[in-house]
Amino acid sequence: MITRWRLLSDDAAGAAEGLALDEALMAGYARDEPARPPTLRLYTYRDHCALIGRYQNLAAEVDLDACRRTGTEVSRRPTGGGAIIMGAGQLGVALIDRAPVDKRPREIIEECSAAVSAGLAELGITATFRGKNDLEAGGRKIAGLGLYIDERGGMLFHASVLADLDIEFMLEVLRIPAAKLADKAVAAVGERVTTVTRETGQAHDGSTVREFAALGFAKAFGVELVPGSAEQAELDRAAELARDRYRESSWLSEQGAIPDGSGSALLKTPEGLLRIYLSTHGDLVKSAVVVGDFAILPPAVGRLESQLRWQRLDPAAVGRIVSASGADRALGVAADRLAETVLIAGRQAGKLAAAAPVRSAGSCYFPESK
């Protein structure tokens, strides 16, 4: 017998309202509540909303003056990850269920990411799970993922699927040091993210991707999705949460307690002047971004960025990663010089870690903390 899930669809949600309904839906999935089928919500936000991750500093991640100027709403997600722009061009995915007791959070994210990938496959896009919380197509990020499990056992899986993206607008309202300091910032972002529109060669927005996302979840979990609507109690709870949490300054001003650092270092190569940006947590690399005057980003450089993430800034370890990535050969520099440049960026990040405001995760679409 095929299990039936409830499917909710809506468009043009406000920043606070969109997040509040996701959390309100969780109330029916606590451990002490009667068992019920999961709810899948596929929705879009109004143009535009800037949403930061649970542990980020709002002022550090978002240009609040630019948001006021452009009418961009802001709020904080209950899930982690980096700052994102949401609007008609992006599809919000929320899967609400009781958290499985026999699976670790990463296993849950991987399982749910496979459903998002299945939906993209219906559009002819091959997407794979990478890092902690990304789906990539052709080595570029196409969706960000997040998970929140509350104290009562309710689970919220979040995904933001890039049907399309106005990169210039995103750079205007989000604070992205690596992108803003790099020459040709739009091109730098374009090397690391992609969209359904770009991959298919056809114009898409969140609403046109919705049916494919629904099909992906139905196939991946072997379920039937039954269109429905939120219950009145859920709507009432969402209104309370929007008012008392997601629009409240106390919620918006929360941030992670442990500061991170960011630093950069330059290296002259036969391919041009190269700059390495690192975001660190102590001696742990949270992200690495390499920019330079490349006609195209060498694949080996992308491997270096990926392999450095969540590694210690240990000289021997960094040396092994540089050699294994092949970035030194692709750039025509000695491996030890490239490794030392990484370490210099790391040392600078350590010195600046106490500076405020603290950037705790970076932008989801210019990944500084995968």
- How would DSSP label each residue in 85-96? EESTTEEEEEEE
- State how beta strands 128-130 and 49-52 pair: unpaired
Q: With 50 as the cut, is the pLDDT of residue 354 above it?
A: no
Decide which of 230, 252, 274 is a domain's last residue: 252
DSSP 360: S
Q: Which pLDDT score is estimated for 261?
A: 77
Residue 295 has pLDDT above 60, yes or no: no
Shared domain check, 187 and 315:
no
The domain tally of the chain equals: 2
User: Which tens digit of pLDDT belongs to each residue from 255-289?
Assistant: 544 456 788 899 988 867 788 988 887 788 877 88
In a domain, 366, yes or no: no
Name the maximum alpha-carbon separation found in the chain.
65
**Order of strands, edge to edge, in the sheet holding 73-76?**
73-76, 49-52, 84-86
Low-confidence winner among 121-135, 166-180, 230-244 (lowest mean pLDDT): 166-180
pTM of the complete model: 0.74
Do 176 and 70 share a structural domain? yes
The answer as to whether 368 is a domain residue is no
CA distances for 283 relative to 22, 260, 301, angstroms: 35, 10, 21
Q: CA 83 to CA 63: how far, in whole Å?
A: 11
308 is in which domain, residue-wise? Answer: 261-351
Which segment of 234-243, 316-325, 353-362 scores lowest on mean pLDDT? 353-362
Phi (first) and psi of residue 36, to 5 degrees = -150, 155
Element (H, E) at 146: strand 140-149
Q: Is residue 239 part of a domain?
A: yes
Q: Are residues 281 and 206 in the same domain?
A: no
232, 252, 272 - which closes a domain: 252
Least confident interval from 6-20, 73-87, 96-110, 351-365: 351-365
For 97-126, the pLDDT digits (tens) are: 999 988 888 899 999 999 999 999 999 999
Classified as helix, coil or strand, 111 is helix
Block residue for tokens 């999961």: 38
CA dihedral angle for residue 301, residue 307, residue 310, residue 316, rounded to 10 degrees = -100
Residues facing 281 on adjacent strands: 284
364, part of any domain = no
∠ CA 350-352-358, rounded to 5°: 110
The pLDDT, as a whole number, for residue 190 is 78
Q: Are residues 281 and 246 in the same domain?
A: no
Return the pLDDT at 7: 98
Which CATH number is 266's domain given?
3.30.390.50
User: Given 252, 278, 304, which residue is the final one in a domain?
Assistant: 252
Structure token pair of residue 322: 């540089």
pLDDT of amino acid 254? 64
Least confident of 160-174, 196-210, 245-259: 245-259
Residue 33 CB-half CA count within 13 A: 16
C-alpha angle 123/128/134, rounded to 5°?
A: 105
Q: For residue 275, which of 287, 286, 265, 261 has the smallest C-alpha distance? A: 265
Are 284 and 317 spatial neighbours (Cβ–Cβ below 8 Å)? no
For residues 79 and 108, what is the distance between their CA atoms, to the nearest angstrom? 14
Pick the range with the lowest mean pLDDT from 117-131, 210-224, 305-319: 305-319
**Range among 50-64, 281-295, 320-334 rated most confident:** 320-334
Q: Is residue 73 part of a domain?
A: yes
Three-class SS state of 19: helix
pLDDT of residue 285: 86
What's the CA gap between 317 and 324, in Å, rounded?
Answer: 11
Reading across the β-sheet that carries 284-292, which strands appear in turn? 261-269, 272-281, 284-292
User: How high is the mean pLDDT of the chain?
Assistant: 88
Q: 357 in a domain, yes or no? A: no
Judgement on whether residues 17 and 143 belong to the same structural domain of the protein:
yes
Q: Considering the domain boundaries, does residue 356 fall inside one?
A: no
194: helix, coil or strand?
A: coil
